[in-house]
């Protein structure tokens, strides 16, 4: 049984895994992305992977970095993957930047949208997807969702594709389970280490879909007692 984690708990787990146990942050990101891709592969893509079209919508933080890893592992399986980045290339730092460079060197289709989003063009792009991976915003988001993410989230929700949220649906408050304006309505939520504190709230239920806890390889001793 996984004890729900607050926003601060999640940060503490990552910090302890890296600083006290010597686990590189890029390894935690790799495990998170690979294991999420495995869940998507096993559940929906195994019978007809080459005909599937997955679009990964990524932001500038570590949530986006997880999305880059997911894209790589799905592509390695033969899945047709495209990445839409809603940030500038210069915004991507740290472990996320490492995984973005891998995608660039590998030639994975990548479109940089930055902060200026044409909603009509975006909806056209998303219309061909069978699955959309929501790797826009992480568990640290607080306050009302700002543009361009409100437009991006709305466009994803109106697409016909199924949606997998990375860690939690973008636009959902980690601790309260309340939507912060526009919020992804996911079919699946791949949440890392443990469910988030807000997931148990009735307000969160319409946005989560099926929730699975994904192991990122952090030592058990790094988790709260």
Mean pLDDT score, 179-194: 96
pLDDT tens for residues 107-165? 999 999 988 899 999 999 999 999 999 999 999 888 889 999 999 999 999 999 999 99
Q: Is residue 1 part of a domain?
A: no
| Contact assessment for residue 166 and residue 135, using Cβ atoms and an 8 Å cutoff | yes
Percent of the chain with pLDDT over 70: 95
The residue ranking higher by pLDDT, 51 or 210, is: 210
What is the total count of domains within the chain? 1
Q: CA angle, 146 as apex, 5 and 104 as ends, to 5°?
A: 80
What's the pLDDT score for residue 142? Answer: 86
Return d(Cα 193, Cα 5) in angstroms, integer. Answer: 9
What's the pLDDT score for residue 42? Answer: 82
What's the pLDDT score for residue 51? Answer: 52
Mean pLDDT score, 199-217: 97
What residue numbers bound the domain in which 179 lies?
7-218
Task: Count how many Cα atoms sit within 13 Å of the Cα of residue 25 in the half-sphere of its side chain.
Answer: 19
Tally helices (H) and strands (E) across the chain: 7, 7
Q: Is residue 213 part of a domain?
A: yes
Q: Is residue 178 part of a domain?
A: yes
Q: Is residue 37 part of a domain?
A: yes
CATH of the domain at 120: 3.40.50.10260
Q: What does pTM read for this prediction?
A: 0.95
pLDDT tens for residues 87-110? 999 999 999 999 999 999 999 999
Please spell the DSSP secondary structure of 140-185, one letter per residue.
T--SSPPTTHHHHHHHHHHSSSEEEEESS-TTB-TTT--B-SS---
Q: Report cis status (omega within 30 of 0) of the bond before 148.
A: yes
């Amino acid at each position: 049984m996984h004890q729900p984690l607050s926003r601060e708990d999640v940060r503490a787990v990552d910090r302890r895994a890296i600083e006290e146990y010597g686990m590189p942050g890029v390894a935690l990101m790799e495990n998170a992305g690979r294991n999420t891709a495995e869940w998507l592969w096993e559940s929906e893509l195994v019978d007809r992977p080459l005909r599937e079209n997955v679009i990964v919508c990524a932001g500038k933080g570590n949530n986006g970095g997880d999305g880059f890893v997911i894209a790589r592992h799905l592509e390695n399986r033969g899945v047709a993957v495209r990445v839409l980045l809603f940030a500038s290339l210069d915004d991507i730092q740290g472990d996320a930047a490492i995984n973005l460079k891998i995608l660039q060197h590998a030639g994975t289709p990548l479109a940089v949208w930055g902060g200026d989003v044409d909603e009509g063009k975006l909806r056209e792009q998303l219309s061909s997807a069978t699955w959309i991976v929501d790797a826009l915003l992480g568990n640290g988001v607080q306050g009302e969702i700002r543009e361009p993410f409100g437009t991006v989230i709305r466009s994803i929700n109106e697409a016909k594709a199924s949606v997998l949220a990375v860690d939690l649906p973008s636009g959902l408050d980690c601790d309260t389970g309340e939507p912060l304006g526009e919020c992804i309505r996911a079919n699946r939520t791949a949440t890392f280490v443990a469910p988030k504190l807000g997931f148990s709230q009735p307000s969160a239920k319409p946005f989560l879909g099926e929730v699975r806890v994904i192991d990122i390889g952090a030592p058990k001793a790094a988790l709260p007692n």
